[in-house]
Amino acid sequence: MKLELSRVVQGCRLGVLTGLGKSGQRSLEVPGCLLYTRCATVPHLTQDTLHTLRDLPSVTQVSVDSLAEHHEVLEEFKEGVRKFAGLHDTVLFCSLHDSANTSPTGHVTNKTVSVWGSGGRIELTVARFMAIQAAIQPDCYQSMADGETWQAGTSRKRVRKAVDRSLAHLDECLVLHQKTQELKQAEIFGVVEGGDILEERLRSARETAKRPVGGFVLDGFHSAAMDQDVRVQLIKVTSAELPQEKPRLVLGVGRPDEVISCVEAGVDLFESFFPFQVTERGCALSFNFTIDPDPETAGTSTPRVLEFNGEMPAVKKLNSNGDENAMPYEMNLKDKRYQDDFRPLVEGCSCYCCKKHMRAYVHHLLVTNELLGGVLLMLHNMAHYLGFFKALRDAIASDRLQDFKNRVLHCRVGD
């Protein structure tokens, strides 16, 4: 696996992550996102339905917390979760936690971390963690780490201990990685911890970079955990300590404005849990990410994106934990105003939902709790989110990042 950068503009790294998968033939454009799943399935979508979407990420994310309960079954199956779940040809990345879930804290020790499955808490030693990885058979995975230092008010002593534990876990994981036949061709990502303490972030980054890892996971920067300005500054100084040729994946960041700020700070990869969270709220992504066409190229391609059709969407305000937010990126299709709105969710969107159905119908599905409502919304929200990342890459490539930011951020409440 190798990150080939084509340009770096205002801190943004544009390039291609090559050599992915066991064949080494797959690649992923950066900045980009992984394909989010729960128990190795994209929520609401079958594989055939999912693949009606264009330009899906080549890397699918699974998580230990959703698969740990199936460890014995996967061990007996012997062929990994890719075949077990009937996935199409994809590269698998395995994270420790599902960022769309909030888990209880306070269940870590010097030797163990805990994940939470449907049956409750599962305590993991490094040996058990690595046995689960061997059963999953991912192409890349993050090492076990103590990531419980994102809460406000975490003491310096606790943060230092988390960094020490995470480095010790990484060293143990690397030893077992070399001894595990099922992981011989896999890459391990080191986890950078440190909470909001600059010295510990730097120490974690420098020490992790000394280990033979394929990439880096930046943990503890979740949307609910940290002020955005603090997050950006910490990521900038942390990234400066990491090798340029290895990818950086940030966990827990998905909102468009936060994605842009993290890309400017040097992040390459993101999760894609955000469209799922929007879908679960009964909302549709509807923000505009189209840059006005360059006069020289106007008319040579169809606009990728999306106006508000002359109105502001019915916005559900979300807070930092995902329930209230001042960013009108979505329309709440449960709102009664859409019961007789016969337009597509977003004019010009080419997803199945927008081509075949109208807002009034999706509103009806949602208020009557029909399962099809979630399917159609998830299709649209994934298509919109992936289009946002493609437009972001195009903006960096064409030196129009500021225009792109203005377009995406112009609808911030209060602006």
Nearest-Å Rg of the Cα atoms of the chain is: 21
φ, ψ (nearest 5 deg) of residue 24: 75, 15
Tell me the C-alpha distance between 148 and 143, whole Å. 15
Tell me the C-alpha distance between 146 and 255, whole Å. 24
For residues 238 and 201, is the Cβ–Cβ distance under 8 A?
A: yes
Reading the block at residue 333, the tokens are 């299709």
Tell me the C-alpha distance between 147 and 165, whole Å. 10
Region for 395 from its dihedrals, namely left if φ exceeds 0, alpha if ψ lies in -120 to 50, beta otherwise? alpha
Q: What secondary structure does DSSP assign to 15-53, as a single string?
A: EEEEEESTTS-EEEEESEE-EE-BTTB-TT--HHHHTTS
Listed in sequence order, the residues at least 6 apart from 229 whose beta carbon sits closer than 8 Å to its beta carbon are none
Torsion of the alpha carbons at 204, 209, 213 and 217, rounded to the nearest 10: 50
The C-alpha angle 288, 293, 299, rounded to 5 degrees, equals 115
Tell me the C-alpha distance between 150 and 77, whole Å. 37
Q: What secondary structure does DSSP assign to 317-330, as a single string?
A: P--TTSS--S---E
CA atoms within 13 A on the CB side of 10: 14
Tell me the C-alpha distance between 155 and 233, whole Å. 20
Annotated binding-site residue numbers for Zn(2+): 349, 351, 354, 380
Sign (positive or negative) of CA dihedral 324, 329, 333, 336 = positive
Annotated binding-site residue numbers: 349, 351, 354, 380
